[in-house]
Structure 1
């Protein structure tokens, strides 16, 4: 799962015992060589699904990490593109890889933007927010968008209990809860706290009109259910 350029087990252990911010600062130089970086296939499927809703002027990647979301925003946005994250280490990598974008270090639960963007995206970040924290995140994105602006992010369909991945992710989340009960500072990263209906409810409460579209390029499960869909939250 990791390339030779990726982190060692010791480095991963040190990261896992750090705070979220410090952990990502440590991981940043090797992050793009880990399976945690959003795959290009997911980014390309998202961009394809969004083309019919654009073009857009200005775009924002929320929890941008090392800047993978620029693969989506760059071709879709005619104006400026920017990323926001709280890890200085991840932003340094993003700035080096995409010097033409704007990079902002900020707490995404309190985004420092007001009606500045037409498109916001986010990839692989929702697991870093406890359910009680999502309303503040979504309210900030809503505030950052201009009227009619779109917030889009992919979300996986629920795994059947017969899938080995179901049990692997359940085991990961259980281990993380035990770690956070026994160790400080906490490291919040859960894979099973982002049920689609709960996310839709939180987006609607923040003022969005929410729809979802399948991402068929990412495959289907038995019975024809898409493995992944794209949440489209429109600001009125």
Structure 2
């Protein structure tokens, strides 16, 4: 799963016993050599799905990490692109790789933006927020968008209960719950706390008009349903 340039088992253990912020600061120099980085196939499929929904001027990647999402924003946005993350280490890596972008260090649950962007994206970050924290996250994204702006992010279909992936995700989440019960500071990262139905409900409460489109380029499951969908949450032009 990891390239020879990725973190060692010891480094992963140290990260897992740290806070989320400190853990990602430690992992940042080798993050791009881990399976945690958003695959290029997902980024490409997102660009393809969004290419007919613009034009977009300014774009924001929330929980940008080392900046993989900048490739999406750079392909779609004509104006300034910005990444926001609370890990200093991840932002330093992102800045080195994408000097054309601007960077902001902030907690995603308290985003410091007010109608600054036409497009907001996020990749692989929702598992870092407990269900009770999602309203603050989505409220901040809503505020960050101009009227008519779009929030977009891919979300995977839950794996079949008969699959190895299902049991691996279940085991990981259980291990993290035990870890966070007995160890402080907590490290919040769960794979099974962001079902599409719950996420759609939270986005609707935040004020978005929500739909999801299949990312067919990423394949389908055995029952014919898409393996990934792109959530499209639009901020109304005329707010209530």
TM-score by length of 2: 0.98
Q: How does 1:1-236 map to 2 (within 5 A)?
A: 1-236=1-236
Alpha-carbon distance in structure 1 between the residues aligned to 2:34 and 2:168? 18
Q: Structure 1 residue 159: deviation in Å? A: 1.2
Q: Structure 1 residue 27: deviation in Å? A: 0.1
Alpha-carbon distance in structure 1 between the residues aligned to 2:186 and 2:64? 21
Which consecutive residues of structure 1, in runs of 5 or more, have no partner in the other structure? none
Deviation track 1:1-60 (CA, whole Å, cap 9, x = no partner) reads 000000000000000000000000000000000000000000000010000101200000
Alpha-carbon distance in structure 1 between the residues aligned to 2:56 and 2:11? 40
Alpha-carbon distance in structure 2 between the residues aligned to 1:101 and 1:71? 11
Alpha-carbon distance in structure 1 between the residues aligned to 2:116 and 2:164? 43
Deviates more, 1:157-166 or 1:20-29: 157-166
Alpha-carbon distance in structure 2 between the residues aligned to 1:104 and 1:197? 31
Deviation track 1:56-87 (CA, whole Å, cap 9, x = no partner) reads 00000000000000110001000000000000
Show structure 1 runs of 4+ deviating over 2 A: none
TM-score by length of 1: 1.00
Q: Structure 1 residue 158: deviation in Å? A: 1.5
Alpha-carbon distance in structure 1 between the residues aligned to 2:132 and 2:162? 30
